Amino acid sequence: MPHDNKAFRLLRLLFFLSGSYPKTRKECTDFLDIRESAFYNYRNELINIGFNLQQKEGKYWVEAEDKATHVLANLLHFSEEEAYILAKSIDAIEGHTLPAKRLKQKLVAFLNQDKAVEAYLKKEKTEMVSVLNNAVKNKKQVLLVNYASGNSQTVKNRRVEPFEFKDDFNLVWAFDTEVKKNRQFKICRMEDALETPFGWKYEHLHHSAPVDVFRNTGELNKQVEFELNLRARNLLVEEYPLTEKYITGTTKNHFLFKVPVAKYEGPGRFMMGMAEDIRLIGDDGFIEFLKEKIDKCKHFL
């Protein structure tokens, strides 16, 4: 499978190192779940292929110097899910031909966060994202005007240090200077974004949390496990392609799915919608979460 081989891991590392801020060696090894020695092998491989891998103060990043690469990067944006699907498709080519290898090298050249913002946003959002994008590049603090928070149920100004975009520029990771925490901010919840004259003060604390296979953000400290029939398995992979890596076949038409997650909401919504096609196994926290959800649904009846 492509997610188990060196080519796919190299592809993911290029995606990771082509983001909007440099990554430490530990961030890279944690991201790929590899040993430190393997990271150095991949680093050398990137350099040998011809990518401009930079290193400074223990942090790494890939820069695209070729003009043609910049043009292509401005045309395409690949999420991790899309990169996974594309890598799978290329690996399916018989014989792993030289054209397939070249196609992979061209594909990974697109995987950087510094995209043509206007291609992914409605016109009214472009200016705000441009401000945020410039702030990332210039390491400036930004004032988010009247940000509507779903968690705190408040609408107020937030002074933040944006450092990484996600989800085709619909989300931005930023350090909230008031609460001193890294948070994910949705562009659609901002009334405006204004660059301030202040530079970053908390760069050493910048850290984006992992994103689980259900696209929820947070530490992957929870786990869900259930059995699926063929119908549920197919729908799960279609809706959340990265779940395929965590599915194993038990019999011809039955499958086991076990994965760490950041939140129960994603797998919970899927499971409640496919209840007749799934048998719940665990964990205890997920079982309790579903019981509470089911109890709250009783008022519909």
Last residue of a domain, one of 69, 89, 109: 109
Give the number of domains in the chain. Answer: 3
Domain that residue 232 falls in? 222-300
Q: How confident is the model at residue 102 (pLDDT cuts 50, 70, 90)?
A: low
What average pLDDT does the chain have?
Answer: 79
The reported pLDDT for the residue numbered 37 is 86
Please indicate, yes or no, whether residues 35 and 52 belong to a single structural domain of this protein: yes
Q: What is the pLDDT of residues 235-262, one digit of tens each?
A: 999 888 889 989 998 888 899 999 999 9
Q: Residue 96: is its pLDDT beyond 60? A: no
The reported pLDDT for the residue numbered 120 is 39
Please indicate, yes or no, whether residues 270 and 252 belong to a single structural domain of this protein: yes
Task: Answer whether 268's CB lies under 8 Å from 293's CB.
Answer: yes
Give the mean pLDDT of 4-24.
Answer: 75
Q: Residue 70: is its pLDDT beyond 50? A: no
Domain-located, residue 216: no
Domain-located, residue 89: yes
Last residue of a domain, one of 66, 84, 109: 109
Please indicate, yes or no, whether residues 186 and 124 belong to a single structural domain of this protein: yes
Q: How confident is the model at residue 64 (pLDDT cuts 50, 70, 90)?
A: low
Domain-located, residue 217: no
CATH number at residue 147: 2.30.30
The reported pLDDT for the residue numbered 101 is 57
The reported pLDDT for the residue numbered 121 is 40
Please indicate, yes or no, whether residues 102 and 137 belong to a single structural domain of this protein: no
Domain-located, residue 187: yes
Q: How confident is the model at residue 107 (pLDDT cuts 50, 70, 90)?
A: low
**DSSP line for 85-103:** HHHHHHHTSGGG-HHHHHH
Q: Residue 90: is its pLDDT beyond 70? A: no
Q: How confident is the model at residue 52 (pLDDT cuts 50, 70, 90)?
A: confident
Residue 47, CB half-sphere, CA atoms under 13 Å: how many?
10
Q: What is the pLDDT of residues 23-39, one digit of tens each?
A: 888 888 888 888 888 88
The reported pLDDT for the residue numbered 6 is 75
- pTM exceeds cut of 0.95: no
Please indicate, yes or no, whether residues 101 and 136 belong to a single structural domain of this protein: no
The reported pLDDT for the residue numbered 204 is 93
CATH number at residue 91: 1.10.10.10
Please indicate, yes or no, whether residues 8 and 105 belong to a single structural domain of this protein: yes
Please indicate, yes or no, whether residues 198 and 267 belong to a single structural domain of this protein: no
